[in-house]
Amino acid sequence: MLESRHPKELPIQQGVASDASLYDWRWMIRSALKGFWLILAGGVLCGALALAYVSLRPALYTASAVLNITNLRLTTSGEDAFFTESQFDPTFLETQIETIGSTPVLSNVIQTLKLGEPDALDQQGALKALRGGLAIQRLGQSNLVEIRYTSGTPQHAATVANEVARAYMAKQESDRAEAVQSASGWLRDRLREAGPKAQVMSAATPPVDKSNPRGLVIIALAGIVGGAAGFVAALTLAFLDRSFRRTDQLTSAVGVECFGVIPNVQHDHASSKQGSPALLSEIASRPGTPEWQTLRLASVAILPLAATPHMRSLGVTSALPGEGKTVLAANLALHIAQMGKRALLVDAQSYRPELSKSMEYANRRGLVDYIEGRESDLKALIVQDTRTGLDTLPYGQAGKAPGMLWAGRMEHLLNQAAAYDLVVFDLPALDAAGDLRASARFIDSFVLVVEAGRVSDEALSVALSATPPVWEKLVGSILNRCDPQPVFKWLPTFGR
244, 315, 450, 476 from 322: Cα distances, Å: 16, 16, 10, 19
142-177 residues labelled b (16+ CB within 10 A) or e (exposed): ebbbbbbbbbeebebbbbbbbbbbbbbbebbeeebe
Angle at 369 between CA 366 and CA 372, to 5 degrees: 145
Q: Is the pLDDT of residue 286 over 80?
A: no
Region 365-372 average pLDDT: 87
User: How far is Cα 74 from Cα 125, in angstroms, rounded to an integer?
Assistant: 41
More confident residue, 92 or 5: 92
Task: Count CA atoms within 13 Å of residue 451 on its CB side.
Answer: 16
User: How far is Cα 67 from Cα 96, in angstroms, rounded to an integer?
Assistant: 11
Give the pLDDT of residue 124: 84
User: How far is Cα 179 from Cα 162, in angstroms, rounded to an integer?
Assistant: 26
- Summarised one tens digit per residue, pLDDT across range 118-137 is 565 677 888 889 999 999 99
Region 149-162 average pLDDT: 92
Contact at 8 Å (CB) between 319 and 459? yes
Backbone angle region of 401, left / alpha / beta, with phi > 0 → left and psi within -120 to 50 → alpha: left
- Give the phi and the psi of residue 259 in degrees, each rounded to 5: -70, -20
Virtual torsion, Cα 393, 399, 402, 408, nearest 10 deg:
-50
pLDDT band at 493 (very low <50, low <70, confident <90, very high): very low
Does the pTM of the predicted model rise above 0.85?
A: no
Give the pLDDT of residue 135: 93
Burial group, residue 285, by CB count within 10 angstroms (0-12, 13-18, 19+): exposed
Q: Is the pLDDT of residue 48 over 90?
A: yes
User: How far is Cα 391 from Cα 386, in angstroms, rounded to an integer?
Assistant: 10
For 225, the 3-state DSSP assignment is helix
Domains with residue ranges and CATH for the chain: 7-19+243-488 (3.40.50.300), 42-57+213-235 (no CATH), 61-202 (3.30.70.1130)
